[in-house]
Amino acid sequence: MKIQNFKKKVPKPLEPGDTIAVAAPASSFSKDRFDAGVSVLKSFGFKVVIPDEIFMKKGYLAGSDRHRAQILNSLFADNKINGIACARGGFGSMRILHMLDSALIYKNPKIFIGFSDITAILSFLYQKCGMAVLHGPVIVSLADADFVTRDFMYQALTFEKKLDIFFENSISITKGRAYGPVFGGNLTTLCHLLGTSYMPDVSGHILFIEDRAEASYRIDRMLTHMKLAGCFDNLAGVILGTFTDCGKPDEILKITKNIFSNLKIPVLTGVDIGHGVPNITIPFGIDACLDTEKSMISFNVDRKGLPSINVSGNQQ
């Protein structure tokens, strides 16, 4: 069934003692690194629920597509669960998007965090359910996360009204201030979502992108693809995260300057978000102000007067 004019939803922030469940919507994962990452979540003061079924394997995936989708749907339906974290990215999230129950999820919004291949799930939740989400570490990446990564993750999981983030060593390509919600994620995944109903319209947004292990010419090609597809028309601003193992940093900087400098909007690059260390957690879908001269972004939540947005979804 078609569902339209959802009211935008910002899930309730977590508090110590709240319960986070772990889903595995993509690739299978190392048990040792998983256990180490779960220990970090517990050190934050959260209870952690781990469904036995997430340890299943089918090839390079954490079980069949139907299996992984059913677990995620069930975790959203469980009112004892306050938040959901993802075990790992890798590959597979796009395969289950059509099996997720947008109507159920819309009625049961809760904190959801992940990055990399999980960008596909973040896109679904924002586009089909009108739900704000968190772009941040998966469980296995928490295993050896530094203090900054852990600290910002905890802040993002628990902040109620305002969150200010200052980025060290970033570079302002175009100076200024941009206002609007942030959305984006892994560049490769976003490119694969183009042309589907799961890719949000990012007009008026501050677009964030990052990637890993893609040659510089591929980064150039993907950014050009998005530009030709109109994805950069009417953006409020751009944040470029880490491009780990994507070629020489000066090559990536040259490519991004060539793509974005003529848009005449604030653009900040070299931000510690993505596959590098640290990996700072940021909210998607929450009103923000990007100040490229101060190398900072501020997020503000008005829980009383959230605007309506037009999204559509399929109830499975």
In a domain, 315, yes or no: no
Helix, strand and coil percent figures for the chain, each rounded to 5: 35, 25, 40
Q: For all residues of the chain together, what is the average pLDDT?
A: 93
Chain segment 220-269, per-residue pLDDT in tens:
999 999 999 999 999 999 999 999 999 999 999 999 999 998 999 999 99
Domain boundary (114, 142, 160) is at 160
In a domain, 62, yes or no: yes
- pTM here is 0.94
Using alpha carbons, select from 54, 222, 45, 68 the residue that is nearest to residue 150. Answer: 45
What's 51's domain CATH number? 3.40.50.10740
pLDDT band at 6 (very low <50, low <70, confident <90, very high): low
| 140 plus 202 within the same structural domain | no
In a domain, 316, yes or no: no
| 209 plus 134 within the same structural domain | no
Using alpha carbons, select from 153, 78, 146, 171 the residue that is nearest to residue 114. Answer: 153
Chain segment 65-99, per-residue pLDDT in tens:
999 999 999 999 999 999 999 999 999 999 999 99
Q: Which of 93, 123, 275, 295 is catalytic?
A: 275
Q: Which of 27, 205, 210, 295 is catalytic?
A: 210
| 155 plus 171 within the same structural domain | no
| pLDDT for the residue numbered 8 | 79
In a domain, 280, yes or no: yes
- Distance, CA of 24 to CA of 139 (rounded, Å): 10
In a domain, 8, yes or no: no
Domain boundary (160, 182, 201) is at 160
Using alpha carbons, select from 203, 200, 201, 180 the residue that is nearest to residue 297. Answer: 180
Using alpha carbons, select from 69, 190, 77, 71 the residue that is nearest to residue 126. Answer: 190
Residue 155 belongs to domain spanning: 19-160
Report how many domains make up the chain: 2
Q: Is the pLDDT of residue 307 over 60?
A: no
Catalytic residue list contains 170: no
In a domain, 7, yes or no: no
Other Cβ atoms closer than 10 A to 16: 10
Q: Is the pLDDT of residue 44 over 80?
A: yes
**How long a stretch of residues is the chain?**
316
Q: Which of 102, 116, 141, 295 is catalytic?
A: 116
What's 280's domain CATH number? 3.50.30.60
| 210 plus 86 within the same structural domain | no
3-state secondary structure of 224: helix
The C-alpha R_g of the chain, in whole angstroms, comes to 18
| pLDDT for the residue numbered 304 | 52
Nearby residues of 165 by Cβ (< 8 Å), 6 or more positions away? 152, 280, 282, 296, 297, 298, 299
**φ, ψ for residue 40, nearest 5 deg:** -65, -45
In a domain, 183, yes or no: yes
| 89 plus 185 within the same structural domain | no
The tokens of 196 are what? Answer: 């589907």
Chain segment 132-173, per-residue pLDDT in tens:
999 999 999 999 999 999 999 999 999 999 999 999 989 999
| 62 plus 140 within the same structural domain | yes
pLDDT band at 5 (very low <50, low <70, confident <90, very high): low
Q: Is the pLDDT of residue 1 over 60?
A: no
Using alpha carbons, select from 313, 298, 6 the residue that is nearest to residue 181. Answer: 298
- Distance, CA of 232 to CA of 23 (rounded, Å): 32
In a domain, 241, yes or no: yes
Nearby residues of 258 by Cβ (< 8 Å), 6 or more positions away? none
| 94 plus 109 within the same structural domain | yes
| 118 plus 214 within the same structural domain | no
Catalytic residue list contains 116: yes
Beta bridge mates, 22: 85
Other Cβ atoms closer than 10 A to 304: 5
